[in-house]
Amino acid sequence: MILVLIGDSDFEKERLIGQFLEKTLGDRKDDPLARKILFANDTNLPSVADAVIEACDSCSLFASEQTVVVRKAESLKADDSAALESWFKTKPDANLLLEFEKLLKTSKLYKSLQDIASFKECKSPRDYEMTQWITTHCEIDLGRRIEPLAAEYVSNALGTDQALIDAELRKILLLDPEGKVISLDQAKLMIAPQREIAAFEIRESFGDRDPVAYTKKLRELLDSGVEGVQIVSALEAYAVRLLHIRTMLGRKMPAKDIAAALGANPWLFEKKLNEPRKALNWPPQLLCRVIKRLGELDSDIKNGICDSRMGLELSLAALVVR
């Protein structure tokens, strides 16, 4: 069995490598004599290809066959790639896993593997896809459902680090082994925010174009010590999201299809947060001007041009108060 992993998600790769070793070796998965881990960028190896072929064709005194894992395979030298391409043409009966960050489908190496290997994409979810990834990961890999609001909280609190999210969710399972659903209260109680999420609180009033609630929340955030650049970044990302939603609504796309395109939970997207309505509150031309202005403010803050609290507050308030 030959398995090829392609992508930038180290968490997903480690999970699939573990499953591969479990499937091919069973109880011997941790036996160093039954498996061989090679790194394509290891300068101490004269030839990675020779090492792979030799290991795949050999067995130890205690194991009937050897499983080989090649990490960082995108670093293979031209000679090693050519040697492996020739070997793959013989359709070897080997337990081999190749891990790439990138592998072009037009490359000779890919084509030589196409008929004899299975391919798995290991792509890191984007920020807006994390809530959906958390929901799926809980149900499929952890065997427990998670409330939509809880998944949203975990995503905002922990960011896009899949390994960290998995570790924190497993803590909940250890503390509540008999539970069936991870609730928002559990998530807030057991998972401490690892990144600043206060700035995200201003999105609701911004989307509603409610000048009173918006200016009140803006002042609260600034008074509590949230930096202006964080508020600007949160607003800019949300304005771009609203413009994206507005564009899809203009194409008569149903809300559930828009949620799927954004990787959002349909109920959370349409009912709880009501993002389609928020997007319709903003004419596209106005959103474009707001996004441009937020980009200018971000540049001014980072270059020290906008350095006063009053100037920043007035500039941000002017986005909604018109």
Provide the pLDDT for residue 195: 56
Provide the pLDDT for residue 292: 92
* pLDDT tens series, the chain, 322 aa: 899 999 989 999 999 999 998 888 888 877 777 788 889 888 888 899 998 888 887 655 444 567 889 999 999 999 999 999 999 998 988 889 999 999 999 999 999 998 899 999 998 888 778 889 999 999 999 999 999 989 988 988 888 889 989 999 999 998 888 889 999 999 988 887 765 555 567 888 999 999 999 999 888 888 877 788 888 888 888 899 999 999 999 999 998 899 888 877 788 788 878 899 999 999 999 999 999 999 998 888 888 887 688 888 888 888 887 6
What range defines the domain where residue 55 resides? 2-121
Does some domain include residue 322? no
Does some domain include residue 35? yes
CA 289, CA 292: separation in Å to the nearest integer? 5
214 and 261, same structural domain? yes
What is the four-CA torsion angle of 117, 118, 123, 129, rounded to 10 degrees? Answer: 170
Q: With contact defined as beta carbons under 8 Å apart, do 153 and 184 qualify?
A: yes
237 and 139, same structural domain? no
Cα dist. 107→41, 85, 90, 257, 265 in Å?
A: 19, 10, 18, 35, 37
Decide which of 93, 121, 149 is a domain's last residue: 121
User: Which DSSP string do the residues of 18-66 spell out, in sequence order?
Assistant: HHHHHHHHGGGTT-TTTEEEEETT-TT-S-HHHHHHHHHT---TT-SS-
Does some domain include residue 102? yes
204 and 291, same structural domain? yes
Q: Please report, for the chain, how many H helices and E strands are present, in that order.
A: 16, 7
224 and 132, same structural domain? no
Which residue type sits at 290?
V
Q: Which residues contact 10 (CB under 8 A, 6 or more apart)?
A: 163
Does some domain include residue 219? yes
Decide which of 173, 190, 207 is a domain's last residue: 190
Q: What is the CATH number of the domain that holds 168?
A: 1.10.8.60
146 and 45, same structural domain? no
119 beta partners: 4
Tokens representing 169? 């969710």
105 and 144, same structural domain? no
Q: State the SS3 of 130-144.
A: HHHHHHHHHHHCCCC
155 and 101, same structural domain? no
Does some domain include residue 52? yes
Q: What is the CATH number of the domain that holds 42?
A: 3.40.50.300
CA 190, CA 300: separation in Å to the nearest integer? 38
Decide which of 63, 96, 121 is a domain's last residue: 121
CA 218, CA 296: separation in Å to the nearest integer? 18
3-state DSSP call for residue 106? coil
Number of domains the chain is built from: 3
271 and 221, same structural domain? yes
115 and 29, same structural domain? yes
Does some domain include residue 232? yes
3-state DSSP call for residue 304? coil
Does some domain include residue 27? yes
Provide the pLDDT for residue 64: 54
Provide the pLDDT for residue 243: 93
Cα dist. 202→47, 155, 222, 232, 277 in Å?
A: 56, 17, 11, 10, 17
